[in-house]
Amino acid sequence: MAQVQDPVCGMEIDSEDAVASAEHEGVTYYFCSQDCKEAFDEDPEDYVEED
């Protein structure tokens, strides 16, 4: 089990409880809801933190 942060809404969730996940540039992100995943899929760059 691992605590992860939903990049869309910022909610801390357990990766095993995540409703959905998506991979972006080799990193897997977890989401609290399908809505959050869909928002991420539409514009992942908007949600990932990169320098």
Give residues in contact with Zn ion (CB under 5 A).
6, 8-9, 11, 32, 36
Task: Decide whether 14 or 51 has the Cβ nearer to Zn ion.
Answer: 14
Task: Decide whether 17 or 51 has the Cβ nearer to Zn ion.
Answer: 17
Phi first, then psi, for residue 22 (nearest 5°) are -150, 150
User: How many angstroms separate the first and last alpha carbons of the chain?
Assistant: 28
The distance of closest approach from Cβ of residue 25 to Zn ion in the complex, given in angstroms and rounded to an integer, is: 20
Task: Decide whether 20 or 26 has the Cβ nearer to Zn ion.
Answer: 20
What is d(CA 41, CA 11) in angstroms, rounded to the nearest whole number? 17
